[in-house]
Each structure stands twice: as C-alpha cells, then as structure tokens.
Amino acid sequence: MDTTYFGKSFGVMVFRASGSGNLLWKFVKYETVALYLEGVKFLEGLGIAIQAIICDGRRGLFKSLSDYPIQMCQFHQAAIVRRYITSNPKNQAAIELKEITHLMSKTDKESFFGLLQDWFDRWGNYINQRITDPNTGKSRYAHRRLRSAYRSLDENKELLFTWYDHPDLNIPNTNNQLEGIFTDLKNKLRNHNGLSRKRKEKLINDYLSNVK
C-alpha cells in the first residue's frame, strides 16, 4: 500500500494485491496512519486474508500494523538515506553508507546486517562526535544528517528483510509495482493538462480499475 499526490491536498491511497490487481483506493488530502488502518480493516471486512503488508516508513504505521508481517519498502528506505546524505556524497563515511544502502536489495539479511555493523565499527565514533555552539553553549552532533541516515537503516533493518524471514509468503521487498503504476498514471494525467479535479478523479478511477 502507498499514496501518491497530484497536487496540494490531492492524493490517492492505493491498496494492491501483489501481482493480481488493485483492491481498494481512495482520494485523500493527507496520508495518515488512520486512513491506512481504515483501508486494511475494510479489506478484511470483505473477507480478504492479508498475509503481509508492504509499506513505507511512516511514523507509527509499523506499530499499528504489528499483527501482520510488515515489509518496509526498500525503495523508500533508500530514498530516506538519499535525502539525508544526497545522491552524491563527498564524505567518505557517507559514500560507504550509500554503497551499503545500494546493496540492500541485492543481498541477504545476514550480509546486510554485517555490512552495516562493519560500517558502524569504523565510523561510530565519527557520527557520535559533538560540537558546541559558541553562542549558545549547547552541543549538537557534528554530523547530524549522516547519523540520521545510519540510524534510520539500523532502526528499520529488521523490517527491511521481512521478505527474507518469510520465504513461504513470497513477499516483494519493495512497492515498485505501485511506484510504476503511479508513474504511468501521472504521465497520462500530464497528457491531459487542464482537466478539472472531477475529471481527473474519473480518469484515475478508470485507470486504477483496469490496470493489472
């Protein structure tokens, strides 16, 4: 499940069964945990058995869905790291962390955990360095963004490999199916510039009803 936006306060939240089509979608102003939970409960009310959920790292979502095997989308995790350290980091520690993040989707759980631990063994003291603001006297981490990138990977690492822990469920490791659908949908809307909100919603409904 995931949400994409077409403008300010105009998004669509989609719940998709991997490989077999869209089950539910709804137009939303904001992407919230409550709306995701509402969608999950609605599908269960229809008698749909939910074996696992692939989603992004929205705060509070994992805890709220802890009754299910949860796979955090590795694509979203990589995007979080990229936002912190950019796509072209100059710092050696950041360069190495970017390389490890790139390997996330190409390796197994034990190897990734080992790479992440090796990185921390080398750079842990570095990312925990603090500096003091001479004006306020308050201290802060000297490499806050790099530290945040590492902490995000470390705190989410178990959720990034749920697919590996449950081979019987054949869980995708990303939401790339939905990402591809969202990209194609936006391209189609771009070809129809000038549509009213109502007409856009109709086009989106028709598209999501028919895409496989």
Q: Are 53 and 36 in contact (CB under 8 A)?
A: no
Q: What pLDDT does 136 receive?
A: 87
Q: What pLDDT does 171 receive?
A: 95
SS3 54: strand
Q: Of the CATH numbers 3.30.56.10, 3.10.620.30, 3.30.420.10, 3.60.10.10, which one belongs to the domain with range 1-73+175-212?
A: 3.30.420.10
Q: What pLDDT does 102 receive?
A: 97
Beta pairing class for 53-55 and 70-72: parallel
Place of tokens 């390997």: 103
Tell which residue, 31, 128, 116, has the closest CA to residue 81: 116
**Alpha-carbon distance 107 to 184, whole Å?**
29
DSSP character at residue 47: T
**Alpha-carbon distance 170 to 149, whole Å?**
28
Q: Are 62 and 152 in contact (CB under 8 A)?
A: no
- Each of the 212 residues of the chain gets a pLDDT tens digit; together they read 999 999 888 999 999 998 789 999 999 999 999 999 999 999 999 999 999 999 998 889 999 999 999 999 999 999 999 999 999 999 999 999 999 999 999 999 999 999 999 999 999 999 999 999 888 889 999 999 999 999 999 999 999 999 999 999 999 999 999 999 999 999 999 888 888 999 999 999 999 999 88
The amino acid that residue 71 corresponds to is Q
The amino acid that residue 59 corresponds to is R
Dump strand ranges (E) for the chain: 2-7, 10-17, 21-28, 53-55, 70-72, 130-132, 139-141
Domain ranges for the chain: 1-73+175-212, 74-158
**Alpha-carbon distance 78 to 187, whole Å?**
24
pTM for this entry: 0.89
What is the DSSP secondary-structure string of 124-158? HHHHT-EEE-TTT--EEETTHHHHHHHHHHHHHHH
Angle between helices 109-127 and 92-103 (to 10 degrees): 160
**Alpha-carbon distance 138 to 128, whole Å?**
15
3-state helix, strand, coil in the chain (%, to 5): 55, 15, 30
Q: What pLDDT does 166 receive?
A: 96
